[in-house]
Amino acid sequence: MKKFALSALVAAMAVTGTAQAGVTDKDIINDQMTTGDVVSNGMGLRGQRYSPMDKINTETVKDMRPVWAFSFGGEKQRGQESQPMVKDGVMYVTASYSRVFAVDTTTGEELWEYNARLPDGIMPCCDVINRGVALYDDLVIFGTLDAKLVALDAKTGKVKWKKKVEDYKAGYSITAAPIVVKGKVITGVSGGEFGIIGKVEAYDAKTGKLAWTRPTVEGHMGFIWKDGKKMENGISGGQAGKTWPGDLWKSGGAATWLGGTYDPDVDLLFFGTGNPAPWNSHLRPGDNLFSSSRVAIDPDTGKIVWHFQTTPHDGWDYDGVNELVSFDYKANGKTVKAAATADRNGFMYVLNRENGDFIRGFPFVDKITWAKGLDPKTGRPIYDDSNRPGNPADSKDGKKGKSVLAVPSFLGGKNWMPVSYSQDTGLFYVPSNEWAMDIWNEPTAYKKGAAYLGAGFTIKPMNDEYIGVLRAMDPKTGKEVWRKTNYAPLWGGALTTKGNLVFYGTPEGYLLGLNAKTGEEVYKFNTGSGIVGSPITWEQDGEQYLSVVSGWGGAVPLWGGEVAKRVKHLNQGGTVWTFKLPK
């Protein structure tokens, strides 16, 4: 910890005019509508990423300017996908390689830094990123690349508790921001490319004691702890091998690597699950539950209440992890408790969040080749069998199946980068990408800690002028209202405000502000490195602040194939940029 940290922290409290108080369950539940802080991932557990603030609006935003910039420093400048948190004049933000910083929100001065001591054998598939912390009581809680949960003292950065969630040597890691619901810190796991078993777990946020565990591959047992005793909580919603052949469910993937959302109206957690393992779908006939799905989980017990599978028998790595965002709308005079998600597979889905029933689905990208459409009653994809990668066993030498051109690429119509939803326009703002892939299958076998794909691929752009597209989508009609294209892929999240603004960043380094109704660009500032983080906004001393983390990296330059050529010249970085209007 820096020598000046404690005095600076006291000064930060004095500036806000309040004594630092712990974050409560009520604070987290009310986060979206309380503008003085940001204490949940998604700026509210529903994940809408909407702020009711309007001091910065389409008329005033042109005057918005940076007031401080904080560098993460060192040589670890890559893949900064964090969403910051703000409480009592202090920002808590993660950086690549499992680091956490506390920063004075008035001056940008560092208060303390925590650096996880990572072992040499970590196996992150998609860069050394971290997407943020959870706050609870006087704790700052985050996951590490060696699959641990760490709780730090919010005032000092000292470790209060640390728990091993899984074995990093088997390919497990944690990259998502955890969430806190009813005093429990809820986390998923990464590692689907290594044949791990996806799961969601709940820990007592104050002590780190495990409350329950829920595997997300059918056949694996879930448990709940009561009065210090471990009790079976039922298998993961089905029988071993029922939708999996043989023993493949034992290394079935379905990683919960993006984290979850929560809706208090129905008292359910919503987590997405990743691809089934291996990618070669001919080795595992069947739907392969609960891979490439959204699952609704009881936060008290870990029971799966309902599930919706977006890509049954996934053969393209169309992870179903993308966030499920709760929202209400009126239909036939009644309020519909809905939730929407823009999937890697190119379709956007609107579900009834009470029971998981399919309401409607529609493409949000320009082209989809792997499916002809969705069943209008169930939402199940209508496959185009000619566009499933071929079985290597059908080839002469058994080494490579027929290659197909699949759209979208496995990096998805939308990947991890979170959408935002405006309560004013009723639209979802979706960072998306237009790209294709040549993909083929190969033989493979599971080996602990080794890549478990059984596929090869090459990603390619579909347009010379752009790959990235920010889209305004109407969830009630399935129509695109407007779009703004970008030469490089979009890889960061969106923020919407009552000021009729949508903010997001580009790999070229620009923080952009658009008119939420029309898509007109009304603000532009270059941060010096690609933005792959998610912006936030809050109120302090009567002024509206906005922050975003800048630092190029993530999966695109690692897995991007021909697409990587478009971004190879971009500079890496690691800086928090903070803006406001002049007084």
- The DSSP code sequence of 8-47 is HHHHHHHHHTS----B-HHHHHTGGG-TT-B-STTSSTT-
Reference 495, options 576, 556, 417, 434; nearest CA is 417
Reference 255, options 295, 285, 224; nearest CA is 295
**What is the pairing mode between strands 428-433 and 420-421?**
antiparallel
**Cα–Cα distance measured from residue 21 to residue 39, given in angstroms and rounded to the nearest whole number:** 12
C-alpha radius of gyration, the chain, whole number? 22
Reference 254, options 327, 332, 300, 307; nearest CA is 307
Cβ atoms of 131 and 83 closer than 8 Å: yes
**Cα–Cα distance measured from residue 67 to residue 513, given in angstroms and rounded to the nearest whole number:** 17
The three-state (H, E, C) secondary structure of 56-97, written as one string: CCCCCHHHCEEEEEEECCCCCCCCCCCCCEEECCEEEEEECC
Q: Which residues, at least 6 apart from 27, have a Cβ–Cβ distance to it below 8 Å?
A: 34, 37, 39
Handedness of CA 116, 182, 90, 208 (dihedral sign): negative
How distant is the alpha carbon of residue 100 from its chain centre? Answer: 18
The phi-psi region of residue 253 (left if phi > 0; otherwise alpha if psi is between -120 and 50; otherwise beta) is left
How many CB atoms are located within 10 Å of the residue 59 CB? 10
**What is the pairing mode between strands 521-526 and 510-515?**
antiparallel
Q: Encoding tokens for residue 571?
A: 């500079």
**Cα–Cα distance measured from residue 193 to residue 141, given in angstroms and rounded to the nearest whole number:** 26
DSSP state of 408: S
Cβ atoms of 165 and 150 closer than 8 Å: no
Q: Which residue in this structure is represented by tokens 């694996």?
A: 220
Reference 304, options 362, 405, 217; nearest CA is 217
Catalytic-residue membership of 317 = yes
Annotated catalytic residue: which of 317, 328, 397, 474? 317
Widest CA span of the chain, in angstroms?
75
Instruction: Point out the residues that are catalytic.
Output: 317
